[in-house]
Chains A and B, each alone.
Chain A
């Protein structure tokens, strides 16, 4: 009966090796590096470029509005993807879903009609896709 024991001793390590082949190395708590993830913990994706007053001549009226131009750091994306940005004006609570100012670029513009020169305007911005939004960030700009 030594031969069966030898077979067991030969096959058992193989079995153990096969069992160890595949491990559950997924640590969901560490999955926080996708900027579209609401649990994203990386550096801020948004940064303010500038803010200025834009005058639109649309006869018979002339529209004057504040523009906040900001950038999205798409190099932080784990994979290239189209996206939108949802902006909440923290001054009046209004929310707007923006599309890219220039398609294919990461430059975005938010406009506000009732502005005050010298007053800081803060916006809550989120990456958005499929009618769902990512982690909120806040950017502020003051019109001089």
Chain B
């Protein structure tokens, strides 16, 4: 590329002066440009013959930008440029954001619900087991007690209360367990559904157009690439 540029500068250096263009382009790391419709380059600074030159700037995910820059003799001119994102990339980003939102709704929320109901079911089961253990402890107390008052209190007050606790704990466990099973099934279904949804793809049409502007040699020899841009408006 530099050789082409030097050749370009060298051919008419005897008649015209030269100037330098220094590019400050957003994005700064991977932009490219085509100079005068012929030379595809990736330079941050270049020396050119004085006069107007056409530039077509492009960077991945950005739109192509055509502009004419006038090179002033014996001067270094800074070119500040920001390439906007391409509509395709903006649409791709919107689709990705929508997909992430759907994944959040379809995966994370049901998973959180399943986790929550699972924890509730586990706690309910522990309570259910504790309530059952309490009944067994009551029976053991009856069998070991030698206090008529304590036995009376156990049979008339404590045991009925513990039986009610057990009944309630069993009901709670059944509800929480059922909710856990239902939410687990729902979550699995949601995850399967979400995983079957195709990921949005980004097709950089601006790159195709940019590649079509100039001849692009490759290792096997080279191909001609051509692009056609039809301005609708």
Contact = CB atoms under 8 A, between A and B. Distances in A.
Nearest to B142: A31
Interface in B135-173: 135, 138-139, 142-152, 155, 159-160, 163, 166-167, 170, 173
A129 B148 CA distance: 7
A28 B189 contact: no
A38 interface: yes
B108 interface: no
Contacts, number: 109
Given A18-B125, A24-B163, A24-B167, A79 B148 contact: no
A58 interface: no
A23 B132 CA distance: 7
Contacts of A132: 147-150, 152
B113 interface: no
B83 interface: no
Interface in A1-60: 1, 3-5, 7-8, 11-12, 15, 18-19, 21-26, 28, 31, 34, 36-39
Nearest to A19: B174
B188 interface: yes
Interface stretch (B178-186, B197-205, B216-224): B178-186
Nearest to B176: A15
B106 interface: no
A104 interface: no
Interface residues of B, number: 39
Interface in B97-127: 125
B155 A28 contact: yes
Nearest to B150: A130
A47 B62 CA distance: 107
A129 B185 contact: no
A127 B189 CA distance: 66
Q: Identify whether the interface residues of B are mostly helix, strand, loop, or mixed.
A: helix
Contact of A38 (B128, B145, B151, B186): B151
A24 B181 contact: no
26 contacts: A3-B188, A4-B186, A7-B181, A8-B181, A8-B182, A15-B177, A18-B125, A18-B173, A19-B170, A22-B131, A22-B170, A24-B163, A24-B166, A26-B163, A31-B139, A34-B142, A36-B147, A36-B148, A36-B151, A38-B152, A39-B155, A77-B146, A129-B146, A129-B147, A130-B150, A133-B148
A49 to B, nearest CB: 23
A26 to B, nearest CB: 5
A134 to B, nearest CB: 5
Contact of A8 (B135, B148, B166, B185): B185
A133 B181 CA distance: 52
A134 B148 contact: yes
Contacts of A5: 185
Nearest to B170: A19
A82 B145 CA distance: 11
Q: Indicate the member of B129, B131, B167, B189 with the most A CB atoms within 10 Å.
A: B189
Given A15-B177, A18-B177, A82 B155 contact: no
B102 to A, nearest CB: 18
B106 to A, nearest CB: 13
B189 A31 contact: no
Nearest to B156: A28
B181 A12 contact: yes
A11 B181 contact: yes
Nearest to A128: B148
